[in-house]
Structure 1
Amino acid sequence: MAKFTFNLPDIGEGIAEAEIVAWHVKPGDRVEEDDQLADMMTDKATVEMESPVSGTVLEVAGEVGDTIAIGSMLVVIETDAQGDGQTVPSARDTAPAPAPTAPQVEERIEVENPDASDADNAIAAETSAAQSVRDEPAAEAPTSVAAGSAKKADAPDPARDQSGARVLASPAVRARAKDLGIDLSQVKPADEGRVRHSDLDQFIAYSSGGFAPAGSARADEQIKVIGLRKRIAQNMAAAKRNIPHFTYVEECDVTELERMRAQLNDGRGDRPKLTMLPLLITAVCKLIPRYPMLNARYDDEGGVVTRHGAVHLGMATQTDGGLMVPVIRNAQAKNLYQLAGEITRLAAAAREGSAKSEELSGSTLTITSLGPLGGVATTPVINRPEVAIIGPNRIVERPMFVPDGMGGERIEKRKLMNISISCDHRVVDGWDAASFIQDVKRLLEAPAGLLMP
């Protein structure tokens, strides 16, 4: 027998440590080569760690939520081979390199670092919005499975339905179902084929098997803040602590824009269906060359603002694990239908947890939209180190006075939408933000300009 020490490998350029978000083994478990050991979360992605050898787990590095350094011990395995203890190298040379991005023109501007007291008096956004957070982690109480023994078990898998297909559910839902002793294959999802917390609540309410009756209070529970939720908390706190926010809101008449969108969708053929988002992104990209201070990132410590030539647009996306920000690379070079396709693809990858590290980093400007839940106005929090974030709100119909073509006015039902923008007041002046949104308004209200080169 020999002891084999598996050290946490280098899992990304510039990554010094990673957080344990799920263990799939425990001391005493038998593992085979390539069995999954743990899920580790960096500030860019969640990475699955697989065993390089077969044997019995003797020791693990820590508990879920702990952070360990690159190169330190992750798991000690007793192998069947004879010899002295072995250690897996850091694997720095074998780590996949990030995908290259398109060349872009950048302008770096030295700025004076303001006193902290200036930020304390700034107008602060109150609601949650996009933050630089990465791939969806496992939940705070993941199902612990001995990989080797799981393959040999004869008992039915509660994570699969009667046909053998895997039941779709987030790690948090799986963990809660396990704690409650609920077989997920018996829970009927309300929509999209994915079991959610609300489905578990319904199952409990209508089950005759010892669960709390409908209307009774749920027991208090303590949930350790780990993984994606921990990253959200850290990034939101850093954004609010360091950035003096201000928010500007403008009302836009999108009646003609919605009419044009409907016409484009009627003749789209096999191209993606257009929502409001590709149209807004196109307007933003057309105007950014006039307002380069908005498509920028601010290095607090170095006192340097980098104005980017290409628009790498962050798209705040809600997932079961929390808010993620996949990035549309070179959005300024894409047409409406290409943007629509990227929005659909990236949103699906974020929700499924399959988004790549390079698809979740490097944004230069972010748009956050709550769709039909958009409300009257939002005050989104900036996706640090960016300096601006744009938030379209819900479209509503209201009576408006419009020209009647004969020098007078008439009342007509129009479609209206507010657009919010939050900016870093250290870099962007209120006049520039207001002027930008006014130009966006003019372009959206005369939408033929969106189709011009």
Structure 2
Amino acid sequence: MAFDFELPDVGEGIHEGEIVNWLVGEGDPVAEDEDIVEVMTDKATVQISAPVAGTIAELRFDEGDVVEVGEIFVVIEPSGDVDTEPQPSDETEPETARADPEPAPSPTGTNGHQPQRTPEGILAPPSVRIEARKRGIDIADVEGTGPAGRISMEDLEAHASTEPAGEATPEPTAEPTSATGGAGGVAQALPYDIEPGSVDRETARAVEPIQAATVSPSAHAARATSLQSHFTHAVQIDADELVEDVQAAGQEDLGEDTLVTAFVVKAIARGLQDHERCNAWVDEDSRDLVVADPINVGVATPTEDGLELRTVADADERGVLSIAGTIADGGDDAEATFTVTSYEGNGGLVATPILVHPQMAGASIGRIRDVARLDEGDVVPGKQLSLAFTFDHRYIDGYDGALLADDVEELLSSPGSMLLG
């Protein structure tokens, strides 16, 4: 019996990934633990290996398609005696959902995969949507009791207990639109439908597939702004000593912009030691605040392929040079608890960072600029750095957010050799 391989969970907080490169084709033999595909998430590009040895029977997605965790994306015909009991998947339809002999047509890719579109305005995690599809329940009929009407597994269970048996209908599939073609599965990540005909391709100068490196942060931003209540607090920091310390570090190979970012990361990590609620995740289903043990600061860094999140694990225990080297080398394999957006010296005066859900706080670094300031009545030249923080106001009030910002400002105003480490 064929083995249905579901996309595994490739990291905490990761719900989907884009197929970047198939390393095998249909009909190819494959060994157990042999890499078969490269998948790009918003965190990294990872290789996934075959759980069993055998022959590739079917590749259900094309390169560029976005696959949800738990979806069957490849079928393997095992070569030996293995447990091939079909895994639960969102493509398994309950018997009661097959009463309609003529299901509505839905868009299909070149490999026959039917993309699942998110109904407009419905907030529910992928696990709940998958379970609803397995039961043949229209997610739009379920009443959510979470923040902004978010649907939890408990809401789904409550709805299922009141729904008459045999009357369940599968979740409707969106009609194809002119914007889905050539978008590499991007439309699946959007929380709204695109109006048919709203994209004029005939007069376009060029059409470029949108990669996961761009889509995933955008999807996170949409999720964060729909679930969290953002407020931003900005500070202007006297950066004279900071600039001196960066220049004194003598690390031309790392670059001054990376060193400035490293100082900011270190200062924020030190501040988070005293403001634990800002170093936390929110569990939307239970509405619990989960305070993280490590202080892992993610740095959204501009690259040729878009923003890349590079995480510095245990940033509070690292020296500035170690942090700078980690950022330059691509980051650690760790889940970020706080995210800093770095514009590599090209930031404006103040930016408003969007939280990386389910994180509670984040920051963005502006550019260091020349300013005139008063010193005992005299106007003198100086350096100034702007730094903006965003917090989830549901759990962090303005006063607590300002305390963290003030502590970070004080550290960066007089960084000292202790930050070099």
Please indicate the TM-score interval, normalised by the length of the shorter structure.
Answer: 0.5 to 0.7
d(CA) in 2 for partners of 1:307 and 1:370?
A: 28
d(CA) in 2 for partners of 1:392 and 1:302?
A: 33
Q: 2:60 is aligned with what amino acid?
A: A
Closer/same/farther in 2, CA of residues 30 and 42 from structure 1, 3 Å limit:
same
SS at structure 2 position matched to 1:372: coil
Q: 1:38 is aligned with what amino acid?
A: V
**Corresponding residue for residue 31 of structure 1:** 28
Closer/same/farther in 2, CA of residues 398 and 236 from structure 1, 3 Å limit:
same
- How many Å apart are 1:247 and its aligned residue? 0.7
Closer/same/farther in 2, CA of residues 269 and 319 from structure 1, 3 Å limit:
closer
1:377 paired residue among 346, 350, 353 = 350
- How many Å apart are 1:332 and its aligned residue? 0.9
- How many Å apart are 1:325 and its aligned residue? 2.4
Matches for 1:207-218 after TM superposition, within 5 Å: none
Closer/same/farther in 2, CA of residues 256 and 86 from structure 1, 3 Å limit:
closer
d(CA) in 1 for partners of 2:22 and 2:81?
A: 23
Closer/same/farther in 2, CA of residues 377 and 343 from structure 1, 3 Å limit:
same
Task: Confirm or deny: 8 A CA contact 1:8 1:90 kept in the other structure.
Answer: no
2:359 paired residue among 386, 394, 404 = 386
d(CA) in 1 for partners of 2:358 and 2:420?
A: 32
1:253 paired residue among 238, 247, 269 = 238
SS at structure 1 position matched to 2:416: helix
d(CA) in 2 for partners of 1:320 and 1:280?
A: 23
- Say if 2:246 is the partner of 1:278: no
**Corresponding residue for residue 60 of structure 1:** 59
Closer/same/farther in 2, CA of residues 302 and 374 from structure 1, 3 Å limit:
same
- How many Å apart are 1:365 and its aligned residue? 1.5
Q: 1:75 is aligned with what amino acid?
A: V
Q: Alignment length, in residue pairs?
A: 310
- How many Å apart are 1:375 and its aligned residue? 0.7
- How many Å apart are 1:379 and its aligned residue? 0.2
d(CA) in 1 for partners of 2:15 and 2:371?
A: 53
- Say if 2:216 is the partner of 1:243: no
Q: 2:226 is aligned with what amino acid?
A: R
d(CA) in 1 for partners of 2:278 and 2:73?
A: 44
**Corresponding residue for residue 197 of structure 2:** none
CA deviation profile, 1:279-305 (whole Å, cap 9, x unmatched):
222222333233222222222221211
- Say if 2:411 is the partner of 1:427: no
Q: 2:272 is aligned with what amino acid?
A: I
Provide the TM-score with structure 2 as the length reference. Answer: 0.60
d(CA) in 1 for partners of 2:396 and 2:364?
A: 17
CA deviation profile, 1:159-199 (whole Å, cap 9, x unmatched):
xxxxxxxxxxxxxxxxxxxxxxxxxxxxxxxxxxxxxxxxx
CA deviation profile, 1:112-135 (whole Å, cap 9, x unmatched):
x99649xxxxxxxxxxxxxxxxxx
Task: Confirm or deny: 8 A CA contact 1:7 1:88 kept in the other structure.
Answer: no
Where relative contact order (Cα < 8 A, 6+ residues apart) is larger, the structure is 1
Closer/same/farther in 2, CA of residues 141 and 402 from structure 1, 3 Å limit:
same
Closer/same/farther in 2, CA of residues 26 and 277 from structure 1, 3 Å limit:
closer
d(CA) in 2 for partners of 1:22 and 1:448?
A: 45
CA deviation profile, 1:95-122 (whole Å, cap 9, x unmatched):
xxxxxxxxxxxxxxxxxx99649xxxxx
Task: Confirm or deny: 8 A CA contact 1:21 1:227 kept in the other structure.
Answer: no
Task: Confirm or deny: 8 A CA contact 1:65 1:227 kept in the other structure.
Answer: no
- Say if 2:298 is the partner of 1:299: no
**Corresponding residue for residue 317 of structure 1:** 301
d(CA) in 2 for partners of 1:10 and 1:362?
A: 17
1:437 paired residue among 375, 389, 405 = 405
- Say if 2:330 is the partner of 1:346: yes
d(CA) in 2 for partners of 1:270 and 1:115?
A: 47
- How many Å apart are 1:240 and its aligned residue? 0.4
- How many Å apart are 1:436 and its aligned residue? 2.4
Identical counterparts, % of pairs: 19
Task: Confirm or deny: 8 A CA contact 2:41 2:213 kept in the other structure.
Answer: no
Task: Confirm or deny: 8 A CA contact 2:302 2:344 kept in the other structure.
Answer: no
- How many Å apart are 1:17 and its aligned residue? 7.5
Task: Confirm or deny: 8 A CA contact 1:400 1:414 kept in the other structure.
Answer: yes
Matches for 1:34-113 after TM superposition, within 5 Å: 37-40=36-39, 46-49=45-48, 59-63=58-62, 64-65=64-65, 67=67, 70=70, 72=72, 74-76=74-76
Closer/same/farther in 2, CA of residues 393 and 452 from structure 1, 3 Å limit:
closer
Tell me how large the CA RMSD over aligned residues is. Answer: 4.2
Closer/same/farther in 2, CA of residues 220 and 263 from structure 1, 3 Å limit:
closer
CA deviation profile, 1:310-355 (whole Å, cap 9, x unmatched):
31111112344443323211111111222222222225xxxxxxxx
Closer/same/farther in 2, CA of residues 15 and 369 from structure 1, 3 Å limit:
closer
Task: Confirm or deny: 8 A CA contact 1:327 1:362 kept in the other structure.
Answer: yes
d(CA) in 2 for partners of 1:59 and 1:395?
A: 54
Closer/same/farther in 2, CA of residues 319 and 452 from structure 1, 3 Å limit:
closer
Task: Confirm or deny: 8 A CA contact 2:340 2:362 kept in the other structure.
Answer: yes
- How many Å apart are 1:418 and its aligned residue? 0.9
d(CA) in 2 for partners of 1:305 and 1:254?
A: 34
SS at structure 2 position matched to 1:375: coil
- How many Å apart are 1:424 and its aligned residue? 0.8
- How many Å apart are 1:46 and its aligned residue? 4.2
Please list every run of 5 or more consecutive structure 2 residues that lacks an aligned counterpart in the other structure. 88-144, 150-181, 186-202
d(CA) in 2 for partners of 1:43 and 1:278?
A: 22
d(CA) in 1 for partners of 2:14 and 2:341?
A: 30
1:221 paired residue among 207, 226, 244 = 207
Closer/same/farther in 2, CA of residues 341 and 385 from structure 1, 3 Å limit:
same
Please list every run of 5 or more consecutive structure 1 residues that lacks an aligned counterpart in the other structure. 92-112, 118-138, 143-216, 348-357, 404-408
- Say if 2:371 is the partner of 1:398: yes
Closer/same/farther in 2, CA of residues 340 and 427 from structure 1, 3 Å limit:
same
Task: Confirm or deny: 8 A CA contact 2:349 2:366 kept in the other structure.
Answer: yes
CA deviation profile, 1:361-385 (whole Å, cap 9, x unmatched):
5222221111221111100001111
Task: Confirm or deny: 8 A CA contact 2:65 2:184 kept in the other structure.
Answer: no
**Corresponding residue for residue 121 of structure 2:** none
Closer/same/farther in 2, CA of residues 449 and 299 from structure 1, 3 Å limit:
farther
Task: Confirm or deny: 8 A CA contact 1:9 1:89 kept in the other structure.
Answer: no
SS at structure 2 position matched to 1:238: helix
